[in-house]
Amino acid sequence: MHRRIKFGFLLMGIATLALAGGLISSTAALDDGEDGPPTTIEKKGVDIELRSEGKMMADSAVSQLTLSPDPTPTPVPGENTTPNVKVRGSNLQVSDGGLDNIQIFAGFRPFVKSTQSETTISASNNDIVVSYNSSANQPLAVIGGVLQFTSRFLSGYSSSHDGGQTWSSGFVPPLAGSIFTFGDGVVAQDRNGNFYYATLGANASGRTTVQVNKSTDGGSTFGVPTIVQVDNGGDKEWIGVGPSPSNKNQDNVYVTWTSFQASGQQLRFGRSTDGGQTWTSTTIFAPGPDVDPTHPQNSLSFTSPVVDPFNGRLYIPFAQFSNSDTDFLRVLISDDAGATFHFATFNVPGAPSPTLLPVVQPGELIDCFSGGFRLSIHAGPPLVGRFGLRTFQKATRLIIQPTLAVRNGVVYMAWNNSDGTVFGDPATGSNILFVRSDDGGNTWSSPTQVNPAVSGDIHHVHPALAIDVDPNDVHISYYTQHADGTVDLDMANSHDRGATFPSYRTVRVTEVSSTLAPTNMRLSATTSTNYDRTIQPCYSLGEYNGITTANGNVYATWGDLRNTVTQPVNVLDPISGQTHTQQDVRFQKVKAQ
């Protein structure tokens, strides 16, 4: 029997898993994290940073409004800054390259603002909207003799009204009186063709918000956002839209996110039943610590809610972390629009609970200095980091966010998984794994490897999953990194509900392999900088890509690195005058097959 509790209270641990917890008052549920909560999980004696790009920017935004001149950097012996760039290919770029800009001020490293990545995509008939993080709308100015950011709008989008042939770009507006949006954007649409854009932001007082902008004109413009919750601990929000289980003619809008609190990370939930005009929010899961380091701890993130279009059942997959090599995926399920929840059951032998799916996160654990200790894929020669870890100038960080789709009780889920058993092992590669449940999350198939085994392909990461009107057709896009360090976007396709993903049906979406950008250049023993200094170190491709289906096509969008930018000549810049890759957002229509 499923254990349930009422909306507004904490969902307790299940079975033998020792999760501390208890009822949460409405006041506690709205705690905005001002007490300086931890933002890491300890593994192997190292604190692994969990914050997203948007959360790190939000945490530092106020102090970075006014900047101090940069000191002359200390040279790092043996650092290779020779670019490896190829510029070719014809995938359609949807982000407006004309918005990229460089600002130069005496005494400072150049402000090269040319990062667009971390995409989602949503389509309604011929209207398509792509969300992404963009550094191109963070202007600086000298005000009163002091260099300051005059605004920082990271939440960008592009829209098309002709099925993806032509595009226009913009930024969702902030809250009234605010000069911040912090990205981590996710876009979804309802059955009436309205688009909803969930993002991190801030109110006029500078307090971090989870907020949603709505478009009623097919994505051409977005209105002023509504606040889901003011939460200074908020991070990594995601949005899902679908029919109310009690009124199939009404679409509900759901937003979930991670909230960093002194007691650990909490899973928070917002719901709108009036098209995003008003919201109720609460904490639905707040696990406590466990004395066994191999068990899941009070640390979680990477939610991605999905609604079954047939019955309105809500699924919320997420990751929960241990202090050991193995972490876990879980799925919360609600049949009453979030009033109560229960966990899906995986029943994996040896797991601490039947509700846990054990996983090993992909990537090498490296030192990103100012960006924290991160799992990553990387390119170029290794350098010595802290705590015996390696570091790389060209790196992009990885996460373990599960991607899920559902139709009529059949649930499809994919994630990226290391091919080894040791967290952060530099000798391992990674693959995309897939499972299916035919009974709404009670039982699941054995994991299937989605990507073909190709000699020289090391990593397969950041999957996005979509199903067609015919649920036999399953499409999963993901980044592939080759032995030479270059990256492509591939798409695996199944015609049997994910039972098999034949290699001959795998499509290489990108028409050119590209090289990671220099995102982690060391400035001192403890600090580093991204070439785009408005973006955190080790951030390049972002933390997810986007895929959806519409009009008999599969639409894919991703962060792409084939374009280049040249650094201005500047003695403070560790790659002064060099040309290297930069991130833009590209789109491809693939005929469903």
Per-residue pLDDT tens over the stretch 208-219: 999 999 999 999
Q: Which of 25-29, 230-234, 402-406 has the lowest mean pLDDT?
A: 25-29
pLDDT tier for residue 3 given thresholds of 50, 70 and 90:
very low
Q: What is the CATH number of domain 26-115+163-168+234-591?
A: 2.120.10
Query: Residue 531's closest CA among 488, 561, 499, 487?
Result: 561
Tell me the average pLDDT across 421-442.
98
Query: Residue 411's closest CA among 303, 298, 331, 478?
Result: 331
Query: Residue 340's closest CA among 302, 420, 284?
Result: 284
Tell me the average pLDDT across 487-501.
96
Residues 320 and 327: their CA atoms lie apart, in Å, by: 6
pLDDT tier for residue 244 given thresholds of 50, 70 and 90:
very high
Query: Which pLDDT belongs to residue 63?
Result: 55
**Structure tokens, 324:** 């050991």
Query: Which pLDDT belongs to residue 60?
Result: 80
Query: Which pLDDT belongs to residue 28?
Result: 37
More confident residue, 79 or 243: 243
Radius of gyration of the chain (CA): 22
- 0.85 exceeded by the pTM? yes
Query: Which pLDDT belongs to residue 68?
Result: 74
Q: Are 442 and 460 in contact (CB under 8 A)?
A: no
Query: Which pLDDT belongs to residue 427?
Result: 97
Q: Is 84 exposed, middle or buried (0-12, 13-18, 19+ CB in 10 A)?
A: middle
Q: Give domain limits for the chain.
A: 26-115+163-168+234-591
Query: Residue 541's closest CA among 557, 558, 555?
Result: 558
**Structure tokens, 558:** 């991703």
Tell me the average pLDDT across 24-35.
44
Per-residue pLDDT tens over the stretch 114-149: 999 999 999 999 999 999 999 999 999 999 999 999
pLDDT tier for residue 5 given thresholds of 50, 70 and 90:
very low
Query: Which pLDDT belongs to residue 402?
Result: 98
Query: Which pLDDT belongs to residue 187?
Result: 98
Q: Which of 33-37, 264-268, 326-330, 466-470 has the lowest mean pLDDT?
A: 33-37
Query: Which pLDDT belongs to residue 65?
Result: 54
H and E: helices and strands count for the chain? 2, 46
pLDDT tier for residue 469 given thresholds of 50, 70 and 90:
confident
What is the percent of the chain where pLDDT is above 90?
86
CA 161 → CA 128, 130, 252, 457, distances in Å?
Answer: 6, 12, 25, 37
What mean pLDDT, rounded, does the chain reach?
91
Per-residue pLDDT tens over the stretch 304-334: 999 999 999 999 999 999 999 999 999 999 9
Exposure letters 253-285 (e unless 16+ CB within 10 A, then b): bbbbbbbbbebbbbbbbbbbbebbeebebbbbb
Q: Are 184 and 133 in contact (CB under 8 A)?
A: yes
Residues 493 and 509: their CA atoms lie apart, in Å, by: 12
Answer yes or no: is pLDDT of 84 > 50. no
Tell me the average pLDDT across 369-381.
98
Query: Which pLDDT belongs to residue 337?
Result: 98
Please tell me the total number of residues recorded for the chain in this structure.
593
Per-residue pLDDT tens over the stretch 504-546: 999 999 999 999 999 999 999 999 999 999 999 999 999 999 9
Tell me the average pLDDT across 2-8.
35
